[in-house]
Amino acid sequence: MFNWRRMSPFRRSTTYQLDLSRFPRRPEAEHQRHGLTRIAKADATVTDPRPITIVVPVYNAPRDVRVCLESVVANTAHPGARLLVVDDASPDPAIAPMLADFAARYERVEVVTNEINLGFLGTCNHGFALTASADVLLLNSDTVVPPRWLMGMSLAAAESEVGTVTALSNNAWAFSVPAVNFNEMPGPIDPVGRAIRQTSERRYPETPMGHGFCLLIKREVLDATGGFDPVFGRGYHEETDLSMRAAAAGWRHVVDDATFVEHTGSVSFSGEKADLLIANRAIIDDRHPEYGPRSEQFLVSDEMAAVRARVDALWNAAIGATRPRVLVVGGPVVELAAPAADLAWLTLAVEGSMASVADEQRDVVDRFELADAGNGLLAVVADLAANYGIEALALVPEGGLEADAARQVDAAAIALGLPVLDSDAARVEFEQARKQARVFAPRSASRTTRTPSRQPR
């Protein structure tokens, strides 16, 4: 048995971000079978992160809203994240006190209440205007998010030409898995999202449009397009129009095939959906005649078919068996005396300029050459966290790990919002460490909602 040194998963005075666009995607089986070594280059930069504001428009449906917001608080560990809830003057008397209580309980959470009902698009644009220079993650209030969801979306958006990123879902038309349109959930969101993340090859299929149920929009795209066009009224296809306008300006749109978000669908619109879809699709066809052929091609694309086949293979049988993955980092020899049975393990053994990754059967599944002793290990940990679905780190100080290497692991934990475990990493500690790594920490003092003095233009 060994003791792991505890490292703070967040040090609020210091913020790191890794240039994730430089990291290779998960190695293919052929790569691993021949024992090839990857280069962990030190040009993965450590800078201030791009801030992201999660914007959640709300209109009635208090139960769905509560479930959505609680999942965001529990499962968001992106160090640059904030949460903005925009209440569109909901008449349901349960909404206002619930949102006020929520904002009072958590840091980095703000609730804004419209003085009058602006409609869905007006509420979205109002939220966009309040996010200053941040990127925006537009999230429907009838969604539920899994662990590591926002870090996954950020990784998918790392390339400079990517303008929007859309997650996978059980109910989001062409972005649905395993079947198009609607799928009954096979279990709770956490194990479902975890299984999809751990098996993803992160191909990031290209799409002609984003989907607003869970849509990351870069600030540059919002500035260039001006947000959603109010002509789309109460909603549907507003994100299609924005996507097509952004594409005309040179931006790409991709699917994050490693992030899955549960979506109820049509809670706010009730029976209006069919009429809204028909009317707004007519606007799209008139403005963007190329959209129809491109969307149909995307629907039947080989890349999306491969994603659906992968998810279909694990949709029922593998979901319940998926365990959270912990990366244990040590010196030349990493020994696990009695790892917790309900956590999955990868070990990263570092010796000089080389690092090898082994699974629980002690089979080597990846190898790295640390091209720069200064930040090479930091790049390796970030690569493994992204490509193997790592949810926590552990350090073995007595395993011969040098002090600078331990510093790099600490930096990676902070940059990626990963909790760091000690003792024997029992399940109770894993859950406690996850709570400590959340950016939306409980407040010590209460805070009330605010009503803007004027409406956005």
32 CA to centre of own chain = 27
Asked if residue 417 and residue 354 are part of one domain, the reply reads: yes
Q: Are 152 and 197 in contact (CB under 8 A)?
A: yes
Asked if residue 349 and residue 211 are part of one domain, the reply reads: no
User: 195-207 pLDDT, tens per residue?
Assistant: 999 999 999 999 9
Q: 187 in a domain, yes or no?
A: yes
Q: 12 in a domain, yes or no?
A: no
Q: For residues 349 and 332, give the distance between their C-alpha atoms in angstroms, rounded to a whole number.
A: 5
Q: Does 72 have pLDDT greater than 70?
A: yes
Q: 242 in a domain, yes or no?
A: yes
Burial bucket for residue 342 (CB in 10 Å: 0-12, 13-18, 19+):
exposed
Residue-range definition of the domain harbouring residue 431 = 20-46+321-437
Q: Which of 65, 61, 63 is nearest to 83 (CA)?
A: 65
End-to-end CA distance of the chain: 63
Q: 455 in a domain, yes or no?
A: no
Choosing from 294, 314, 334, the residue where a domain stops is 314
Q: For residues 136 and 156, give the distance between their C-alpha atoms in angstroms, rounded to a whole number.
A: 14
Q: Which of 272, 204, 288 is nearest to 238 (CA)?
A: 288
Asked if residue 258 and residue 196 are part of one domain, the reply reads: yes
Q: 281 in a domain, yes or no?
A: yes
| Confidence (pLDDT) at 235 | 84
| Confidence (pLDDT) at 336 | 59
Asked if residue 329 and residue 303 are part of one domain, the reply reads: no
58 CA to centre of own chain = 21
Q: 336 in a domain, yes or no?
A: yes
Asked if residue 332 and residue 307 are part of one domain, the reply reads: no
Burial bucket for residue 271 (CB in 10 Å: 0-12, 13-18, 19+):
exposed
Give the mean model confidence (pLDDT) for residues 57-62.
Answer: 97
344 vs 455, higher pLDDT? 344
262 vs 34, higher pLDDT? 262
| Confidence (pLDDT) at 257 | 98
Q: Which two tokens stand for residue 301?
A: 């694309």
Asked if residue 337 and residue 261 are part of one domain, the reply reads: no
User: 414-427 pLDDT, tens per residue?
Assistant: 888 888 886 444 44
Asked if residue 431 and residue 329 are part of one domain, the reply reads: yes
Asked if residue 57 and residue 42 are part of one domain, the reply reads: no
Phi, psi (deg, nearest 5) at residue 370: -80, 100
| Confidence (pLDDT) at 400 | 67
Q: Are 237 and 285 in contact (CB under 8 A)?
A: no
Q: Does 246 have pLDDT greater than 60?
A: yes
Q: Does 360 have pLDDT greater than 90?
A: no
Give the mean model confidence (pLDDT) for residues 387-402.
Answer: 80
Q: 446 in a domain, yes or no?
A: no
Mean pLDDT over the full length of the chain = 83
Using a pLDDT cut of 70, give the percent of the chain over it.
80
Confidence of residue 170 (pLDDT cuts 50, 70, 90): very high
Integer angstrom CA distances of residue 417 from 17, 24, 200, 201, 248: 10, 20, 20, 22, 35
Choosing from 314, 338, 369, the residue where a domain stops is 314
Give the mean model confidence (pLDDT) for residues 141-166.
Answer: 95
**Secondary structure string (H, E, C) spanning the chain:** CCCCCCCCCCCCCCCCCECHHHCCCCCCHHHHHCCCCEEECCCCCECCCCCEEEEEEECCCHHHHHHHHHHHHHHCCCCCEEEEEEECCCCCCCHHHHHHHHHHHECCEEEEECCCCCHHHHHHHHHHHCCCCCEEEEECCCEECCCCHHHHHHHHCCCCCEEEEEEEECECHHHECCCCCECCCCCCHHHHHHHHHHHCCCCCCECCCCCCCEEEECHHHHHHHCCCCHHHCCCCCHHHHHHHHHHHCCCEEEEEEEEEEEECCCCCCHHHHHHHHHHHHHHHHHHCCCHHHHHHHHHCCHHHHHHHHHHHHHCCCCCCCCCCEEEEEECCCCCCCCCCCCCEEEEEEEECCEEEEECCCCCEEEEEEECCCCCHHHHHHHHHHHHCCEEEEEECHHHCCCHHHHHHHHHHHHHHCCCEECCCCCHHHHHHHHHHHCCCCECCCCCCCECCCCCCC
Q: In the block, which residue shows the tokens 């990366």?
A: 327
Asked if residue 222 and residue 77 are part of one domain, the reply reads: yes
Cis peptide before 178 (omega within 30 of 0): yes
Q: Does 139 have pLDDT greater than 90?
A: yes
Give the mean model confidence (pLDDT) for residues 356-385.
Answer: 85
Give the mean model confidence (pLDDT) for residues 371-379.
Answer: 75
Q: For residues 270 and 287, give the distance between their C-alpha atoms in angstroms, rounded to a whole number.
A: 27
Q: Does 15 have pLDDT greater than 90?
A: no
What domain count does the chain have? 2
Q: Are 422 and 3 in contact (CB under 8 A)?
A: yes
Asked if residue 120 and residue 263 are part of one domain, the reply reads: yes
Tell me which amino acid residue 267 is: V
Q: 450 in a domain, yes or no?
A: no
Confidence of residue 445 (pLDDT cuts 50, 70, 90): very low
Q: Which two tokens stand for residue 179?
A: 């079947």
230 vs 373, higher pLDDT? 230
Using a pLDDT cut of 90, give the percent of the chain over it.
57
Q: Are 174 and 291 in contact (CB under 8 A)?
A: no
Q: Which of 204, 128, 96, 155 is nearest to 451 (CA)?
A: 96
CATH code for position 265: 3.90.550.10
User: 274-314 pLDDT, tens per residue?
Assistant: 888 899 999 999 999 999 999 999 999 999 999 999 999 99
User: What contacts 274, CB < 8 A, 6 or more positions away?
Assistant: none
305 vs 35, higher pLDDT? 305
| Confidence (pLDDT) at 24 | 38
| Confidence (pLDDT) at 50 | 83
Q: Which two tokens stand for residue 403?
A: 């002090």
Q: In the block, which residue shows the tokens 């659906």?
A: 308
| Confidence (pLDDT) at 383 | 87
Choosing from 314, 339, 364, the residue where a domain stops is 314
Q: Does 404 have pLDDT greater than 50?
A: yes
Asked if residue 183 and residue 59 are part of one domain, the reply reads: yes
- Count how many Cα atoms sit within 13 Å of the Cα of residue 118 in the half-sphere of its side chain: 22
Asked if residue 326 and residue 297 are part of one domain, the reply reads: no
